[in-house]
A and B are shown apart, each in its own frame.
Chain A
Amino acid sequence: MSDVYKSVVKPILAGFGITRRRLMQRRKKYADVTVQYPDELREQYPRTRWRHFLTRYDNGLEKCIGCSLCAGACPARCIFVEAAENTDEARFSPGERYAVRYEINMIRCIFCGYCQDACPTGAIILRKDFELADYRREDFIYTKEMLLEEYPGQSEEPFESKVGGVYVNG
């Protein structure tokens, strides 16, 4: 009899005990375990690496010089860069060279951040926008137009969630 109590009843009661304890604690410690996504977005850790951006200098010139070092460093071989020469009439970046085509295949990307490490000008930066899902495979090829900031510092601003309309710190 005592065996039945020890091996069956006691563990069950102990289990319910844990449940009761958690129920009591819920409001305090585990209040934010579940986030009501997409109505709410969780705050990202400081070094989170998600969507890439090509940034600009304060004077508006692109930081990217089309050197293709990111493509060389990329372990997933998902970056394609085609360079061209700046002229005085059409100047995109300081110096002689700029990227005329810059594409990242987001399906292949593993978000390791090596491209950011390799970049000699700090042009490519992985920011915190993680809402990268899409419907068609072709839409995962991010072109230069999609990656490039419209104005300096744009990528550091909070971004808008695609689904919930909630602004989160970027």
Chain B
Amino acid sequence: MAAAPTTDTVTISINDVEIEVPKGELIVDAVKRLGLEIPIFCYHSRMKPVGMCRMCLVEVGFKQPDGSVRKMPKPQAGCTLPASEGMAVYTDTELVHKDRRGVLEFLLINHPLDCPICDRGGECPLQNNTLFYGPSTSRFIELKRHLPKAFPLSRYVTLDLERCIQCGRCVRFTEEISGDAQLAFRFRGANMQPTSFQLTEFESKFSGNVIEICPVGALTSTKYRFRARPWDLETKPAICTVCSNGCSVWFDYRVGKFVRLNGRVNEAVNEEWTCDRGKFGHDFYNSPKRLLAPALRKEDALRTANWAEAYAAILEAFEPGGNAVAALTGPMVSNESYYLLQKLFRGVFRSNNLDHRWTRHLSAASDRLESKMGMPTVATSIEAFEHKSAVLAIGTSLADEEPILFLRLRKAWFKNGTKVVVACDRDTDADSFAHLVLRYRPGTEMALAGGLLAAAVESGRATVPDPVREDLKRYSPSAAASATGVPEDRIREAADILGPNAAIVTTHRLLDVADAQGTLEYLAGLAMCLRAEFNLYALGANDQGALELGIHPELLPSGVALADAEAAAEVGRTMGIEIPREPGLGTHELLRACADGRIKALWLVGCDPFALHADRDLVQRALEGVEFLVVQDIVETEATSYASVILPMLGPAEQDGTYTNMERRVQRLRQVIPDAGDAKPAWRIFAEAMLRAQPQTPFFSAEEIMEEIARVAPAFEVARYDRLGHEGTRL
């Protein structure tokens, strides 16, 4: 509704009640304004109507000059009928009821009544509509259509062709929303089958959504198959913490165990979609490798210990403090936990050796675009992409790294004609709808970024200071073309497309390439000159939060640089601690210092350096070299075997907390699943460690920590729990 602010309205009557609706609104949507419901199968409000199932038949007529209504001779499909002046719609007449009974009887001719074993049973639109509108018995005594049951369409999706009612929602989803168009109808009439072409594997990155939009049990989840029935499940709202998009989801759990995940409507983030990585990526909650009790290394073997012993050992080992201790974090930790970790390290251990970054290039505080160029690195909200005229996605495969942003970008192109320029060194899913594809040679990102800026300068649309102009001579469009392998005219065209209503999108993946700093500066410069928006999006669930809350060797919460002595001291006063002056080490330096033995004690919080760091050898030397290693994690990882102390940590959905997604939206995740074993929320572990080190009033809940965060980092004022809406708030 929000997209149509000043459209013309028309007056229609629904069941003789007159109502004004926007011109052209579909009848199936218009009746909802009166609280009525038209039964549907094929219609989906986010896809184009097709009128395939005929479930939404209504009687329609037009007002005659004498005030009477002249009905059309046949019923009309409400999902394809736009409202027009004087239209009279009837949804509750004898004829409509008869039509609905007829349509349902027809659909049920071939639908097997194996509802008791169908995963959709209990939440099935066909069951519901039959119960409300359908015939109570069947007249069909002939043999039903028989087709393969449980055909594995992909590793996630199981297809039961017998149950299909040929509504085409899945086919249209892959064509209109995800864009991979991997499903299509084969054959015609009663034999029509939605399948992949040549029966190949359905390998869409968004395949899980077709399970949810299927109005029958034809497409079911392979992972959820026979795991539970809907009435066995308890459902609570949550957010997905697998990538940085922070989708709103429903968590379904049974007897305290996570069972499945469904999309939840959040128009600002994921609309209602999920990606397969998130939908099927929460197995760690039920992993047999869950860490359930603290363990302490005694005589060369890890033995189960209690928390008191673990804290005592940790505080003794971290006692030297300063440069001798360090912490590294992973992405799946809440804002509150990050904040307390840095408070523990800065306040108790007097150390700035903290980092959350695992990319090859780590910008020094002075090199960050915010401080160097005054350019914010997160500018565009996911929702805002819909109204961009042009978007340059560079150095990223959006469908893999920011899947929900990918869907939004595709929608922008599909609905509003946004021109998308995709620059990547490999094929990406976004190529299929890109206005322009710039396929550069691996490692030539900087040349391409320079070439784009130079092309914008040459065309007179951008002005840059003279030193930059001199510098750009290296990357004239022709030079950039020969360096990158992208044709010169394409570079020029790409630069021409970008303008004030454009956005440049890249992710932290770009920090892994050579010359990352230069590339970023050229891109930020390009955005600045053209008054476009520049975005360097985070990849991990709460990487953005870690940055904002000072899990950084040179930055304090709210982005205050350590070098700024006065501001840093002020932040310290608000936190009630004294900030150590000496800057800490970044991830790579820190690992090297561990390997050299300069760092005596290392605390790993929810991260496996073997999986996250590029240099495996360095990680191994570091974990072997450091005297005392605390591994705090949800599941057992490769790093746990090196640990001196293992601290079991609860997963995101097992504790209260907030997460900051890549567009700086803070969203609350309440505890959904009960605690696992003896594990504790990360923030509680840090709070208890602080309490043991220095007697003080401890934090009792995540909410209290957010109150303090809001005082220390004023941007988080909007994220206080009493102010956070169910869609979250952008900082």
Which positions in A face B, CB cutoff 8 Å?
65-69, 71-72, 80-81, 83-85, 95-97, 120-121
- Interchain CB contact under 8 A, A96 and B149: yes
- Interchain CB contact under 8 A, A72 and B116: no
B149 cross-chain contacts in A, Cβ below 8 A: 96
- Interchain CB contact under 8 A, A67 and B231: no
Interface residues of B in 247-268 (CB under 8 A from A): 255
- Interchain CB contact under 8 A, B231 and A97: no
Closest to B227 in A: A83
The 8 Å CB contact of B232, one of A71, A96, A120, is A71
B229 cross-chain contacts in A, Cβ below 8 A: 67-69, 71-72
Known: A72-B122, A83-B226, A85-B226. A97 touches B232 (CB 8 A): no
- Whether a CB of chain A sits under 8 angstroms from the CB of B583 is no
- Interchain CB contact under 8 A, B226 and A97: yes
CA distance A71 to B150 in the complex (A): 25
- Whether a CB of chain A sits under 8 angstroms from the CB of B152 is no
The 8 Å CB contact of B150, one of A80, A96, A121, is A96
CA distance A96 to B163 in the complex (A): 14
Interface size on B, residues (CB 8 A): 15
**28 residue pairs bridging A and B, Cβ less than 8 Å apart:** A65-B116, A65-B117, A67-B116, A67-B117, A67-B121, A67-B229, A68-B228, A68-B229, A68-B231, A68-B232, A69-B229, A71-B229, A71-B232, A72-B122, A72-B231, A72-B232, A80-B255, A81-B232, A83-B117, A83-B227, A85-B225, A85-B226, A95-B114, A95-B117, A96-B117, A97-B226, A120-B116, A121-B116
Q: Which of B116, B150, B225 has the most CB of A within 10 A?
A: B116
B255 cross-chain contacts in A, Cβ below 8 A: 80
* Majority DSSP secondary structure for residues of B touching A: loop
18 more contacts with CB within 8 A, not counting A83-B227, A96-B149, are A66-B117, A66-B226, A67-B229, A68-B229, A68-B231, A69-B229, A71-B232, A72-B232, A80-B255, A81-B232, A83-B117, A83-B226, A85-B226, A95-B114, A95-B117, A96-B150, A97-B117, A121-B116
B683 to chain A, nearest CB (A): 35
A93 to chain B, nearest CB (A): 9
- Interchain CB contact under 8 A, A69 and B226: no
Shortest Cβ-Cβ A-B pairs, 3 listed? A67-B116, A97-B117, A68-B229
CA distance A121 to B231 in the complex (A): 19
B296 to chain A, nearest CB (A): 34
Q: Which of B117, B122, B229 has the most CB of A within 10 A?
A: B117
Closest to B228 in A: A68
CA distance A95 to B115 in the complex (A): 12
- Interchain CB contact under 8 A, B150 and A69: no
CA distance A84 to B229 in the complex (A): 12
A100 to chain B, nearest CB (A): 9
A66 cross-chain contacts in B, Cβ below 8 A: 117, 226
B225 cross-chain contacts in A, Cβ below 8 A: 85
Closest to A121 in B: B116
CA distance A80 to B232 in the complex (A): 9
Closest to B230 in A: A72
